């Protein structure tokens, strides 16, 4: 009876599970298919949107190409300039009409080529000049003549036919054309979306450039003369094309209104029903579901606009009904499959229940008989019947045989347990032998290991040491075993070692540390010790195993690296890094104790000459000796460091008593005296000196960086005052440095702010008083300080490299000015421009840039004279002669400025191609009263003439000076007697406008 109930329950459960599985399968499959169809619809819309976007980009590129071609063909900029300038000047009407017709033809042809719906051409004032309108019925094209009489002419021709310019006639302008461009003309080409006649359109705007004659300058210049606007409407034809390409429905919105669409039901909806508008739409091109005419659509919205301003949008649609029908058909098929599966599962469940319950009933009968009487012959009959039964029942006979044989199996198991016990005994013996082998292996490893190994008992006595440990001490293992570290080898390091051992015994934790100890021959060694506790089963520490590794070489290497990082390898003095550490330490000590500290910065004078003449090896010898001499002049508590090159520094600590100003002066004088004594190099006595700057902490600065800058400023003051001396930092040095920093900052912005001015001073021909030469002199019109003379900022410009762009700017101004004066007054006029040695020594791009500029301008080189200092020729570099030859080849003349004030040498006068010598004003100032100055000037003039050079006298301020120079044969004169430097217009009005070029003062 129980088997029957089991059978019925099994059958009911199988049917219920089948129903649940079929339903779950149907629901899951339906949901997956629905999602797949929806994803497929989304993919279609996304691909369609990408394809349309590519098509729009193609349209924009086509319009932009057409606009560029129209803007550049036929010199359109010049044509627009001509029509704008001469439309109201009474020029021949036939010429104007022909020009307009040509422009109309180009406009119409550009519209046909680019397949544009509309092309408009505006002039520089934004007024419409020419247009072309293309549609399916007829093309419209024409022009708008705004002066002298407002006139609007147009023509019409069938679509696709050639334009007949002879049919132009006066008509009213089309109502949708604006005569004026809305807003200022764009300065660069751009592609935008716009609304034309209520329809969304793609529009390109390309500026028209043209070369026009600038009467003020007298040359042509490039300027914007108009604008080409080309438009393509997003009309039904384009939508039809997109629909064929994407197999979707497409609607176009301009603003919030539907203008063109392939779904008629959209005409009864507003734009806000289906499209996200405004600035947010630019980032929300999402797939949305909307109801249109009771029929669902999947929709993808693409917003088109300019920046954050939406001009319109494209709605790309895919029918939702088609997807829903496909999903329903698939679900019906799945339901049919589930029903058929359910019907088939019922008989299978019945068969399976019978197959399980039948054998179980037979098995129960056999077990009952075996339990009652194992020798019952019916049991054997049942077993024989099961064995002869179908294959599915034979397993029951095997199970029954196993049940009957269970008692026999238990007996056999007892025998197996006995056998296992014997096997375990053999295993214990084998494991014991393996442990012995491992112990021998461990002993071999420890005895042959280079690391020291020792074992200590609870009294910190050694109970084992390996040979590596024993060999490090006199007496070997016998002197170590049974003794604690404090007993052998003893000492404070051994006591530290023993303290670590006791700690491990107490805590039972691993410990490691580094230990220094004396080895053989009392050589100091360093080891890294690792202590490992050895515990019994109760967790108590029975012994400690100590493993040590010798790290002496590693420590020595680290010390060497530290020394290399903090000390100068050449002199052995602290380097820059160590110097800063010492400086910070001394500053903290002085601040804590209320004491002073002195910082000295020492720079060797003329050390570069030693390297250049004797070589760097001898220079290194000198540096080592200089470091020794400096160190001998200070106390042991002071710090001497080498910062690099030939620069040293000294920190005088204020911790000792008797530290005062006299002591500082004495130390500084001792250092200067020691360094001024001769250095013996290569059996030669070499002399150098030093410049020394001194600053005090905390009186001069509490910030160490500022303190170092103060010492540097004081050192440079010592250099500037003649070297071989020391100088204290004072407040005026800081103020000078601040003024220099502000001047550099203002100087960097002066060129861009157009604060520089170029003044011109006449150079008068002493023979006839004519002025056909001038010198260009720069002035700085500072917004706060007023007019600044070049002597106050040229040196700063040279130090910072700003002299390069400033000098190029002066050259450009002078070149433009001499070109203008040559055209207006004298074709042989020449302007002199000063060129700094820094400019000459720069790379080729700056040194030969002036020559290249003259070649590009096709300007003769004799219009420019370059003035250089004689010091540049005395310290020539390999490229200086080459650069002067380039000037000579280009026709540029060269003058030596301030001749006689430097280290004058006559060799460069015959070595270099020089045209002029300019006698410095110091020889002219006392010319009337000093016979030596007269003799020098006469000698310079005679010498220059013998060498074929012209002479210019600077600083002429009196008529007597002019007379003496003229009598001596001087060629030109320049100075306040003739005129001060003035702006270009004043110079032209005073010296050139008279037409004869004569000086008003002879």
285 band by pLDDT with thresholds 50, 70 and 90: very low
With respect to residue 443, please indicate whether it lies within any of the assigned structural domains. no
Last residue of a domain, one of 525, 556, 587: 556
Q: What is the pLDDT of residue 263?
A: 78
Percent pLDDT > 70 in the chain is 77
User: What confidence category does residue 367 fall into, taking pLDDT thresholds of 50, 70 and 90?
Assistant: low
Query: For residue 717, what pLDDT band results from cuts at 50, 70 and 90?
Result: confident
Average pLDDT over residues 256-262: 80
- Give the tens place of pLDDT for each residue, 299-324: 888 888 876 677 888 888 887 777 77
105 and 194 in a single domain? The answer is yes
Q: Calculate the average pLDDT of the chain.
A: 78
Asked if residue 972 has pLDDT above 90, the reply is yes
pLDDT confidence tier of residue 247, bands split at 50, 70 and 90: confident
HSE of 632, CA atoms in CB hemisphere, 13 A:
11
Q: How many CA atoms lie within 13 A of 923 on its CB side?
A: 23
pLDDT computed for residue 71 by the predictor: 83
> Mean per-residue pLDDT for 129-152?
73
999 occurs within a structural domain: no
Which of 343-347, 406-410, 955-959 is the least confident region?
406-410
642-646 long-range contacts, Cβ below 8 Å, gap at least 24? 642/568, 642/570, 642/571, 642/573, 642/574, 642/575, 643/575, 643/576, 643/579, 644/575, 644/576, 645/607, 646/603, 646/604, 646/607
- The Cα 520–Cα 526 span in angstroms is 13
For residues 966 and 802, the model is more confident at: 966
Mean pLDDT of 666-695: 88
Does position 767 have pLDDT exceeding 60, yes or no? yes
- Asked whether residue 789 carries a pLDDT value surpassing 60, the answer given is yes
Structure tokens at 328: 């329903």
Q: Each residue of 28-79: pLDDT tens digit?
A: 777 777 777 777 778 888 888 888 888 888 888 888 888 888 888 767 888 8
pLDDT for position 964: 92
Confidence (pLDDT) at 281 = 38
Residue 361 lies in a domain: no
Structure confidence at residue 142 (pLDDT): 83
Of the listed ranges 131-140, 158-167, 957-966, the least confidently predicted one is 158-167
Provide the pLDDT confidence category of residue 354 given band limits of 50, 70 and 90: low
Say yes or no to pLDDT of 110 above 70. Answer: yes
Check whether residue 801 and residue 924 sit in a common domain. Answer: yes
Look up the domain containing 631 and give its range. 568-729
Residues 944 and 984 in one domain: yes
Please give the Cα distance from 279 to 309 (Å, whole number). Answer: 6
Neighbours of 114 (CB within 10 A): 22
Choose the final residue of a domain: 729, 759, 783. 729
Domain-located, residue 409: no
Containing H/E element for 725? strand 725-728
Instruction: Count Cβ neighbours within 10 Å for each residue of 416-425 and write b for 16 or more, e otherwise.
Output: eeeeeeeeee
In-domain check, residue 422? no
956 in Cβ contact with 924 (< 8 Å) = yes
* pLDDT tens digits along 798-838: 777 888 888 889 999 999 999 999 999 999 999 999 988 77
Together in a domain, 130 and 278: yes
912 and 825 co-located in one domain = yes
Same domain, 463 and 530: yes
Sorting pLDDT into bands at 50, 70 and 90, what band is 277? very low
* Structural domain contains residue 440: no
Residues 286 and 188 reside in one and the same domain: yes
| Same-domain status, 649 and 597 | yes
- Mean pLDDT of all residues in 217-223: 75
What is the structure's pLDDT at 987? 93
- Same-domain pairing of 867 and 961: yes
pLDDT 10s digits, 466-488: 887 777 777 777 777 888 887 77
- pLDDT given at position 663: 84
Please give the pLDDT value at position 280: 36
Structurally, how many domains does the chain consist of?
A: 5
Is 444 contained in some domain? no
**Same domain assignment for residues 537 and 663:** no
Give the residue from 522, 556, 590 where a domain finishes.
Answer: 556
Q: Name the pLDDT band for 283 (thresholds 50, 70, 90).
A: very low
Of residues 625 and 347, more confidence is placed in 625
- Which pLDDT score, from 0 to 100, does residue 583 have? 87
Low-confidence winner among 218-227, 621-630, 641-650 (lowest mean pLDDT):
218-227
- Contacts of residue 502, Cβ cutoff 8 Å, sequence gap at least 6: 460
Q: Among 431-440, 669-678, 757-766, 936-945, where is mean pLDDT lowest?
A: 431-440
Average pLDDT for 912-941:
88
Rounded average pLDDT over 913-938: 88
Task: Pick the more confident residue, 214 or 665.
Answer: 665
C-alpha pair distances (Å), 961 with each of 556, 916, 927, 930, 955: 79, 20, 6, 12, 10
Cβ 530 vs Cβ 546: under 8 Å = yes
Average pLDDT over residues 736-751: 76
Does residue 648 belong to any structural domain of this protein? Answer: yes
Residues 42, 124: one domain? yes
pLDDT score recorded for residue 161: 44
Q: Using CA atoms, how far apart are residues 638 and 656, in angstroms rounded to an integer? A: 10
The answer on 769 and 674 residing in a single domain is no
């Amino acid at each position: 009876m129980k088997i029957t109930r089991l059978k019925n329950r099994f059958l009911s459960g199988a049917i219920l599970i089948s129903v649940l599985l079929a339903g779950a399968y149907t629901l899951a499959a339906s949901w997956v298919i629905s999602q797949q169809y929806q994803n497929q619809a989304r993919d279609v819309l996304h691909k369609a949107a990408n394809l349309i976007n590519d098509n729009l980009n193609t349209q924009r590129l086509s319009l932009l190409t057409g606009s560029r071609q129209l803007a550049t063909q036929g010199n359109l900029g010049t044509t627009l300039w001509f029509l704008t300038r001469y439309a109201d000047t009474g020029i021949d009407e036939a010429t104007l009409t022909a020009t307009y017709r040509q422009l109309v033809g180009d406009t119409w042809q550009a519209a046909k080529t680019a397949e544009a719906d509309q092309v408009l051409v505006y002039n520089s004032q934004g007024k419409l000049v020419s247009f072309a309108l293309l549609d399916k019925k007829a093309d419209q094209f024409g022009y708008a003549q705004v002066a002298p009489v407002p006139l609007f002419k147009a023509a019409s021709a069938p679509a696709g036919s050639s334009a007949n310019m002879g049919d132009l006639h006066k008509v009213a302008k089309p109502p949708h054309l604006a005569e004026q461009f809305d807003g200022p003309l764009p300065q660069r080409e751009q592609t935008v979306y716009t609304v034309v006649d209520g329809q969304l359109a793609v529009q390109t705007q390309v500026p028209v450039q043209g070369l026009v004659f600038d009467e003020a300058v007298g040359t042509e210049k490039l300027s914007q003369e108009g604008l080409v606007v080309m438009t393509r409407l997003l009309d039904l034809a384009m939508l039809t094309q997109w629909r064929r390409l994407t197999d979707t429905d497409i609607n176009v919105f301009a603003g919030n209104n539907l203008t063109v669409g392939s779904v008629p039901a959209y005409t009864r909806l507003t734009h806000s029903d289906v499209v996200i508008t405004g600035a947010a739409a630019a980032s929300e091109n999402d797939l949305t579901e909307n109801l249109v005419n009771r029929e669902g659509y999947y929709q993808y919205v693409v917003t088109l606009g300019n920046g954050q301003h939406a001009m319109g949008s494209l709605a790309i649609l895919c029918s939702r009904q088609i997807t829903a029908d496909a999903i329903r058909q698939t679900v019906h098929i799945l339901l049919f499959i589930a029903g058929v599966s359910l019907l088939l599962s019922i008989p299978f469940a019945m068969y399976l229940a019978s197959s399980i319950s039948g054998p179980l009933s037979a098995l129960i009968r056999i077990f009952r008989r075996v339990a009652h009487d194992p020798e019952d012959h019916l049991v054997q009959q049942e077993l024989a019947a099961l064995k002869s039964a179908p294959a599915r029942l034979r397993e029951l006979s095997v199970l029954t045989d196993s049940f009957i044989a269970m008692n026999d199996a238990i007996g056999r198991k007892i025998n197996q347990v006995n056998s296992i016990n014997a096997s375990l005994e053999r295993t214990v013996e084998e494991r014991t032998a393996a442990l012995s082998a491992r112990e021998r292996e461990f002993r071999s490893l420890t005895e042959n290991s280079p690391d020291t190994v020792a074992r200590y008992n609870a009294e910190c006595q050694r109970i084992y040491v390996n040979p590596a440990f024993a060999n490090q001490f006199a007496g070997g293992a016998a002197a170590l075993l049974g003794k604690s570290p404090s007993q052998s080898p003893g000492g404070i390091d051994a006591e530290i070692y023993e303290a670590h051992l006791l700690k491990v015994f107490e805590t039972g934790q691993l410990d490691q540390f580094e230990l220094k100890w004396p080895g053989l021959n009392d050589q100091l060694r360093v080891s890294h010790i690792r202590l490992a506790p050895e515990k019994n089963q109760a967790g108590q520490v029975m012994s400690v195993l100590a493993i040590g590794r010798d790290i002496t070489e590693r420590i020595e290497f680290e010390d060497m690296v530290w020394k290399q990082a903090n000390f100068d390898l050449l002199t052995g003095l602290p380097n820059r890094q160590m110097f800063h550490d010492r400086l910070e330490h001394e500053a903290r000590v002085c601040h804590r104790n209320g004491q002073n500290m002195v910082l000295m910065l020492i720079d060797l004078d003329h050390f570069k000459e030693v390297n250049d003449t004797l070589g760097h090896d001898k220079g290194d010898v000198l540096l080592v000796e200089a470091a020794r001499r400096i160190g001998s002049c200070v106390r042991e508590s002071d710090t001497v460091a080498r910062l690099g090159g030939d620069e040293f520094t000294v920190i005088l600590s204020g911790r000792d008593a008797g530290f005062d100003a006299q002591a500082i002066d004495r130390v500084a004088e001792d250092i200067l005296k020691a360094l001024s004594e001769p250095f013996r190099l290569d059996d030669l006595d070499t002399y150098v000196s030093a410049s020394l700057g001194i600053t005090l902490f905390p009186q001069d600065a509490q910030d160490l960086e500022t303190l170092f800058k103060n010492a540097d400023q004081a050192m440079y003051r010592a250099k500037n005052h003649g070297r071989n001396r020391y100088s204290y930092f004072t407040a005026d040095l800081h103020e000078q440095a601040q003024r220099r920093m502000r001047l550099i900052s203002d100087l960097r912005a002066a060129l861009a702010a157009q604060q520089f001015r170029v003044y011109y001073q006449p150079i008068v021909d002493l023979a006839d008083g004519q002025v056909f030469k001038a010198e260009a002199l720069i002035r700085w019109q500072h917004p706060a300080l007023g007019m600044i003379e070049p002597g106050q900022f040229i040196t700063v410009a040279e130090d910072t490299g700003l002299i390069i762009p400033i000098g190029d700017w002066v050259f450009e101004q002078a070149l433009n000015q001499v070109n203008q004066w040559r055209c207006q007054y004298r074709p042989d006029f020449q302007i002199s421009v000063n060129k700094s040695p820094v400019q000459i020594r720069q790379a080729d791009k700056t040194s030969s840039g002036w020559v290249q500029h003259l070649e590009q301008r096709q300007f003769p080189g004799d219009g420019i004279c370059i003035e250089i200092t004689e010091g540049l020729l005395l310290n020539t570099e390999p490229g200086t002669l080459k650069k002067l030859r380039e000037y000579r080849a280009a026709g540029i003349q060269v003058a030596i400025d301030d001749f006689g004030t430097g280290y004058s040498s006559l060799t460069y006068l015959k070595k270099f191609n020089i045209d002029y010598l300019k006698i410095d004003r110091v020889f002219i100032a006392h010319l009337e009263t000093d016979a030596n100055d007269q003799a020098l000037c006469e000698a310079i003039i005679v010498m220059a003439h013998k060498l074929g050079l012209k002479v210019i006298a600077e600083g002429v301020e009196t008529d007597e000076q002019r007379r003496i120079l003229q009598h001596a044969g001087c060629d030109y004169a320049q100075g306040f007697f003739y005129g001060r430097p003035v702006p270009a217009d004043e110079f032209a009005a005073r010296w050139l406008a008279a037409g004869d070029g004569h000086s008003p003062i002879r």
